[in-house]
Amino acid sequence: MCLICSWHESSTSNEERSSDHAAFAIAQTHVPTLIKVTAKERAAGNEFLRRWPTVDIHSHPGRFFMEGAPVTPFAESLAPPFTDEAVEQICCGGVGTVVFAAVSDHLLLEASRDGLQAIREFAPGEAYRDYRRQMARLQRLIGTGTLRLVRDSSEIREAHRLGQPACMFSIEGGDFIEERLERLSEAYQEGIRSITIIHYHVNQIGDTQTEAAVHGGLSALGRRIVEEMNRLGILIDLSHASLAASRQAAEISSQPMLFSHSNLRKSTSTHPRLISVEHARLVTETGGLVGATSAGFDQSTFEEYIVTILRMVDAVGIEHVAIGTDLDFTFKPVFSDYRDWSLIPAALLARGMHDAEVAKILGGNFLRLLDAARDGSVTRQIAGAYGKATHDRSKLNGT
Ligand SMILES: [Zn+2]
Ligand SMILES: [Zn+2]
């Protein structure tokens, strides 16, 4: 039990609240994280968080982006946003930095049996207006002083040294840019350090994994946006981008890129959000990384999430894996409460990984990417490097 928030008592009411909204598989509130770790292993996880700066590289805590938004039928189908509660959980769980991702196209989305889909187009200026609303919410959030805004690796390390929970800004979907490249410098000025250029809506930048291709990958404007992001030092996030869009971005980008929340496909996988190892390598060969998401694609328990992470390490190398949970806006999450954050390092350490290896996954690799984007230098010495990691592979069979 967490001594600060006594969270085992509070979890019951959260579960009750979420049960009213069980019709949609999007994350609602807390689902207990079930994994067998001993008290000693859990203590090792907590101790790890004190020693190393950790980052969740893609998250929507409490669905903050929906607070104060026009109510769509999709938003109405979800439990109300719970940003303040999620921030408390971040503080309580000892998470170092959480990348808060605004969502460009949420006003267009509707849930179907196969996932989310954009069901209409934006009116001119609508995407930008909603972006401004979401940024105002984030500014109010950091105005409370509970979370410190960090913009580079040294600020992440400093926040960790001071024991101060921190947030970095990102946005999922480049729709808000419309056709105005100057909005990228505006976003940078406001603290945005990564943009998932394409989300569920086939936007002005390029094609998504979950819809038929319209642009054949990236549009001409999309290519200019990639170049401008390189110039400014904003990380290019290709989660949701189609294979062709990812390949074209990899050809153009002078900087390492990332898939902030994309798991690897198995031979039996069918979900279009999962990516092949070859798709992942388009990015890892730029020196970039793949964030393992806790979404319930091909995994239904936290234990399986740990296996997902270990398999990813074996497929693309220890230097190219990170954690991008996608809390609290994802499909059937197997991890949904930051108060359990220490269970991730605890479970990886318990599977035989060394401290320094876990530190790369939980933050170090992402800090390297931020440095490369800021300095404008490609980390070629690491690009495509396949670093093996120590862990107990005997338990990977059959999962
Ligand atoms: Zn996503
Ligand atoms: Zn997301």
Q: Mind listing the pLDDT tens digit for each residue in 107-160?
A: 999 998 778 999 999 999 999 999 999 999 999 999 999 999 999 999 999 999
Ligand 1 centroid–CA 239 distance in Å is: 7
Task: Tell me the per-residue pLDDT of 31-69, one tens digit each, with 9 for 90 and over.
Answer: 556 677 889 999 999 999 999 999 999 999 999 999 999
Ligand 2 centroid–CA 392 distance in Å is: 30
pTM of the model: 0.91
Task: Please list, in sequence order, all residues whose beta carbon lies within 8 angstroms of the beta carbon of residue 272, skipping any fewer than 6 positions away.
Answer: 115, 209, 210
Ligand 1 centroid–CA 21 distance in Å is: 21
**Averaged pLDDT, 290-301:** 94
Ligand 1 centroid–CA 265 distance in Å is: 16
The pLDDT, as a whole number, for residue 13 is 33
Q: How confident is the model at residue 379 (pLDDT cuts 50, 70, 90)?
A: low
Phi-psi region of 125 (alpha: psi -120 to 50; beta: other; left: phi over 0): left
**Averaged pLDDT, 166-193:** 98
Q: How confident is the model at residue 388 (pLDDT cuts 50, 70, 90)?
A: confident
Task: Tell me the per-residue pLDDT of 249-295, one tens digit each, with 9 for 90 and over.
Answer: 999 999 999 999 999 999 888 889 999 999 999 999 989 999 999 99
Ligand 1 centroid–CA 116 distance in Å is: 10
The pLDDT, as a whole number, for residue 286 is 86
Ligand 1 centroid–CA 292 distance in Å is: 12
Ligand nearest to the CA of 325: 2
The pLDDT, as a whole number, for residue 381 is 53
Residue 309 has pLDDT above 70, yes or no: yes
Residue 238 has pLDDT above 90, yes or no: yes
Task: Please list, in sequence order, all residues whose beta carbon lies within 8 angstroms of the beta carbon of residue 249, skipping any fewer than 6 positions away.
Answer: 197, 218, 226, 236, 238, 241, 257
Ion ligand 2, residue ranges at CB < 5 A: 172, 326
The pLDDT, as a whole number, for residue 383 is 59
Ligand nearest to the CA of 197: 1
Ligand 2 centroid–CA 3 distance in Å is: 30
Ligand 1 centroid–CA 161 distance in Å is: 30
Task: Tell me the per-residue pLDDT of 161-170, one tens digit each, with 9 for 90 and over.
Answer: 999 999 999 9
94, 46 Cβ separation under 8 angstroms: yes
Ligand nearest to the CA of 200: 1
More confident residue, 113 or 89: 89
Q: Which domains does the chain have, with CATH numbers?
A: 37-395 (3.20.20.140)
**For tokens 């319209």, what's the residue?**
214
